[in-house]
Structures are given as structure tokens and as C-alpha cells.
């Protein structure tokens, strides 16, 4: 039976096994070498796209795997010729953790296009779309697919309330369409989107915008597969999944049950299930190499913290290690309470990199040292507007208290990158011969310390230590 014949409006699926899958559960350690044996089979499955780059991969590759991050898409492209490649780009933060100047953003996007990235999913932690303007313009100028993403955040258990309600997401989607987005993604990085909220949200988004809609959700709370299904019923065009051994837990819903569920329906993606079973078998055979990175502190595959506090898993483990160091692990419940308060006072930023760390550390300091007795520089920057405009207003009393005595200037209300000087030329002069290509230079600008170290390994100026090389995961 040809499944395709039944398909009226087939769902499209983006595979995330080579990016978010191992980033979410295996600490981003999957090597390019381990991807190659299934690359051709993956190309035959019929995915709409495969996400292979961006997010934390750039960081992990040059720092822990001794791999030149720029090479991975080029190598994979030799084996995957039909399926487009996508990447996750953190707007003005690119694949790093701070805002880079516009000249860096343009150079990065140009090089990413040149090495074979076809689809760019671009988001900003605060959903401040001014922080993705430069990326978007450059992606469009290269004739590539610009997928605008809205970070999904909540203040209560369900969609609604004062800030993150239906009209918030609809208006962000409309703005992205006006910016020229070729598709729009709702990015639920913490896995907190409930199935019926997804149904309501995608039903309304379908009415509001014309471009295809894409759902990225995580399995973290245990709702992921149900959420995908309800989004499919509401007409979502594309969803993200992983192949089973790289799915569930804090990763994405698995692709196989979704295909079985939709088989013979009008949303049947019509994909090659037999190929997926082969691929799954291979991934099972290599997964033990990465297993040491798997969180093994609970038997439960779901994270109760996300259900109770909407604090993403990664953020909880950061807090736990921070508190352990200070010998104050018993204060964790207080810190979890304080996070909600600090987040509100700081204008309700979504809890995603880097805002999750900023809010989390400030909450720890508030609990241990007294409220805003010590203020981190990053928290100060957030209040100064240097990360962009927060979704809600910042508490004026807290702003004054936190900024008192900082000696810094005034807060800004325009696009943060307007205040950044070009970086590329200065880096070129500083690095001299160590950067032989534009890609080398970008590696250094993005990650000054570890990037420079990587270039020394790459060109043999220093030997690569044991344990930092593609064999590390073994």
C-alpha cells in the first residue's frame, strides 16, 4: 500500500536528532563521525528538513570534541543531498552567549549559508524582534529560508494571563510575517505547552498568518507527543521530532509513534518507517558511548519541576550545583520561590538562555545575601535594556535599588546592537596568522578564549590534549 495516496494535507517533519536531540539528553556530544553511517538513510526518510547545526553544537564541538564546527554541515552535505539543512540561531547572540555587533552577525550568516545551511530558525530570548532584524535581513539577502521563532513562555499553568496570552503570540507571529518570515515557529524549549493550549494557539495563528507554522516542543513535562497531536489537529504545518533513542526525556517527542498515529489519515506524512527502524537500531548501538551524559538521578522520564514551577530542567541543575558550592542546597525551595518574584520584577523575561541563568543566579544571591544586596552585572544589563525590551514593565523600585551605585550610565530603549562597535577588523589584527580563514576569525570572535585555544590545536601550535578530540565520547 502506498501511504502517500491517502495523504491530503501531509504533516511535514523536521528531524532534530543531529542537533537538539543530543544537545538535550547527551550534553551535545555526538560526533560528526557517528552521524555519517546513517546520513544517507536519514536523507531517504523524507524529512522536510534536518536540523544539524547551531544551538550549543558550535560551543561543544570546538571546546569538547576538537572538531571544527564549520566542517560538520559541509561533511554531512556530501551524504545528505536531498533534505534541506536547518540551524538554530539565537538572533544577535548567534551561537554564543552575548550580543555581537552587526558586522559579526552578517559575516556569520554569510558563512553559514556558504557551508550549506538552508533554513535558519531565529529567536531572541526576550522575543524582542529588533534583536533578530540583522540576521533576518542577511538570511533574506542570501536567498535562504528565514524561520522566525517566538519563544513560548507562561506565567501560570496554562496559556493566558496578563503577559503571555493568545494575543501576545498572535501579534508576535504577525510581526514576524511582516519582517518577511518564510515560516513561523513556536519554540517551547521547556516543554510546557499543554495539548489543548496548542490546539487553541495554532487554530488562532492559522487565522492570523499565511506562512507555514512550525511547532518545536520538548518532552520534558511528558506532554510533548500529545501537544504535537493537538497542534496537528489544529493545522500546524511542521513539527520537530527525534529518532527514538534520541527522543523523550528533555528531548523532543519521538517520530515513530507520531507516524503510526497519523498513518492513513489526511495528515499522514507518508514517510519511510522501515528506514527509521534501521536508523534507530544504529543509534541504539552508539548511544552507550554517550550514556554517561544522560541524567540518571531519577527513574522518571519526566521533570516534575517543570510541571510545578515551569523552571526548565537545565536551569534546575545549574541552581543545584550553584547552591551545593555554597553549601546551601536546603535553600532550593526558597530560591524557586524567589525566581518567580525576581522574574516578575525584571519584566517577566522567558526563562531561556541567557535569561534563565541571569534570573536564576540573581535569585540565589537574593536568598543568600538579602534582596538585591548584591547585583550581578548581567542582571544590571538586563535592567539597563542591554538585552532588549522585556515582555512586561520592570519594577521601578527594583530598578533603582539594583542600579544604585553602579556608576553606569542610563538605560537604553533602542535596539541593543546600536550600541555595539564593529568587531571583525579588530579581531583580525589581534589574531594575525592564527586565523587563516574568515571561519577561523568568527570562531575566535564568538568564543575568544576557547576559540583561540581551538585554533592553536587546529594548526598544531599546541597539541590537542587527550580527551579533547572526536574520540572523547568513547
Instruction: List residues binding Co ion (CB under 5 A).
Output: 20, 189
CB 103 to Co ion: min, Å: 28
How many beta carbons lie within 10 A of that of residue 147, not counting itself?
30
Nearest residue to Co ion by CB is: 20
Q: Can you tell me the distance from the alpha carbon of 387 to that of 381, in angstroms, rounded to the nearest whole number?
A: 7
Q: Extract the C-alpha cell encoding 445.
A: 570572535
CB 40 to Co ion: min, Å: 26
Task: Between 51 and 237, name the residue whose CB sits nearer to Co ion.
Answer: 51
Q: Can you tell me the distance from the alpha carbon of 433 to that of 91, in angstroms, rounded to the nearest whole number?
A: 29
CB 177 to Co ion: min, Å: 22
Task: Between 191 and 391, name the residue whose CB sits nearer to Co ion.
Answer: 191
Cβ-count burial of 274 within 10 angstroms (0-12 exposed, 13-18 middle, 19+ buried)? exposed
Task: Between 189 and 223, name the residue whose CB sits nearer to Co ion.
Answer: 189
Question: Rounded to whole angstroms, what are the CA distances from 156 to 114, 163, 306?
Answer: 43, 10, 12
Task: Between 54 and 360, name the residue whose CB sits nearer to Co ion.
Answer: 54
CB 189 to Co ion: min, Å: 5
CB 88 to Co ion: min, Å: 7
Task: Between 189 and 441, name the residue whose CB sits nearer to Co ion.
Answer: 189
Residue 213 pairs in a beta bridge with: 184
Q: Is the separation of the CB atoms in 72 and 61 below 8 Å? A: yes
How many beta carbons lie within 10 A of that of residue 135, not counting itself?
27
CB 250 to Co ion: min, Å: 9
Task: Between 92 and 220, name the residue whose CB sits nearer to Co ion.
Answer: 220
CB 90 to Co ion: min, Å: 12
CB 468 to Co ion: min, Å: 26
Backbone torsions φ then ψ of 120, nearest 5 degrees: -115, 115
Core vs surface per residue 458-471: b (16+ CB within 10 A) or e? beeeeeeeeebeee
Task: Between 316 and 335, name the residue whose CB sits nearer to Co ion.
Answer: 316
Return the sign of the alpha-carbon dihedral for residues 171, 154, 213, 26. positive
Q: Can you tell me the distance from the alpha carbon of 255 to that of 248, in angstroms, rounded to the nearest whole number?
A: 10
Task: Between 225 and 453, name the residue whose CB sits nearer to Co ion.
Answer: 225
Cβ-count burial of 237 within 10 angstroms (0-12 exposed, 13-18 middle, 19+ buried)? buried
Amino acid at each position: 500500500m502506498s501511504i502517500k495516496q491517502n495523504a491530503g494535507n501531509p504533516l511535514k517533519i523536521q528531524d532534530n536528532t543531529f542537533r537538539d536531540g543530543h544537545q538535550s539528553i547527551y550534553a551535545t556530544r555526538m560526533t560528526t563521525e557517528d552521524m555519517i553511517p546513517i546520513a544517507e538513510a536519514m536523507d531517504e526518510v523524507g524529512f522536510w528538513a534536518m536540523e544539524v547545526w547551531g544551538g550549543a553544537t558550535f560551543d561543544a564541538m570546538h571546546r569538547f570534541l576538537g572538531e571544527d564546527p564549520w566542517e560538520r554541515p559541509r561533511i554531512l552535505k556530501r551524504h545528505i543531498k536531498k533534505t534541506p539543512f536547518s540551524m538554530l540561531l539565537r538572533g544577535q547572540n548567534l551561537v554564543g552567549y552575548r550580543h555581537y555587533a552587526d558586522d559579526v552577525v552578517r559575516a556569520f550568516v554569510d558563512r553559514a549559508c556558504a557551508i550549506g545551511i538552508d533554513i535558519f530558525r531565529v529567536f531572541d530570548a526576550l522575543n524582542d524582534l529588533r534583536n533578530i532584524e540583522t540576521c533576518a535581513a542577511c538570511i533574506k539577502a542570501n536567498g535562504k529560508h528565514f524561520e522566525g521563532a517566538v519563544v513560548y513562555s507562561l506565567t501560570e499553568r496554562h496559556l493566558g494571563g496578563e503577559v503571555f496570552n493568545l494575543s501576545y503570540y498572535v501579534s508576535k507571529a504577525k510581526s514576524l510575517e511582516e519582517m518577511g518570515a518564510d515560516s513561523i515557529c513556536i519554540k517551547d524549549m521547556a516543554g510546557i505547552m499543554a495539548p489543548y493550549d496548542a490546539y487553541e494557539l495554532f487554530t488562532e495563528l492559522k487565522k492570523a498568518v499565511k506562512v507555514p507554522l512550525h511547532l518545536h516542543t520538548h518532552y520534558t513535562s511528558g506532554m510533548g507527543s500529545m501537544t504535537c497531536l493537538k497542534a496537528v489537529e489544529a493545522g500546524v504545518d511542521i513539527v520537530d521530532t527525534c529518532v527514538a533513542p534520541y527522543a523523550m526525556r528533555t528531548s523532543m517527542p519521538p517520530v515513530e509513534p507520531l507516524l503510526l498515529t497519523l498513518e492513513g489519515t489526511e495528515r499522514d506524512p507518508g514517510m519511510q518507517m522501515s528506514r527509521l527502524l534501521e536508523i534507530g537500531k544504529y543509534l541504539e548501538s552508539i548511544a552507550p558511548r554517550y550514556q554517561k551524559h544522560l541524567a540518571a538521578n531519577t527513574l522518571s522520564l519526566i521533570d516534575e519541576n517543570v510541571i510545578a514551577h515551569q523552571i526548565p530542567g537545565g536551569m534546575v541543575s545549574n541552581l543545584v550545583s550553584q547552591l551545593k558550592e555554597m553549601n546551601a542546597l536546603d535553600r532550593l525551595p526558597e530560591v524557586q520561590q524567589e525566581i518567580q518574584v525576581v522574574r516578575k520584577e525584571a519584566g517577566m523575561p522567558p526563562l531561556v538562555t541567557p535569561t534563565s541563568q541571569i534570573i536564576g543566579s540573581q535569585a540565589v544571591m537574593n536568598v543568600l545575601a538579602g534582596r538585591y544586596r548584591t547585583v550581578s552585572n548581567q542582571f544590571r544589563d538586563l535592567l539597563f535594556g542591554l538585552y532588549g525590551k522585556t515582555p512586561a514593565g520592570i519594577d521601578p523600585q527594583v530598578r533603582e535599588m539594583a542600579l544604585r551605585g553602579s556608576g553606569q550610565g542610563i538605560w537604553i530603549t533602542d535596539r541593543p546592537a546600536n550600541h555595539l562597535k564593529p568587531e571583525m577588523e579588530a579581531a583580525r589584527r589581534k589574531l594575525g596568522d592564527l586565523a587563516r580563514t574568515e571561519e577561523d576569525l568568527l570562531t575566535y570572535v564568538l568564543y575568544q578564549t576557547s576559540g583561540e585555544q581551538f585554533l592553536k590545536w587546529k594548526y598544531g601550535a599546541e597539541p590537542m590534549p587527550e580527551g579533547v578530540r572526536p574520540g572523547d565520547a568513547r
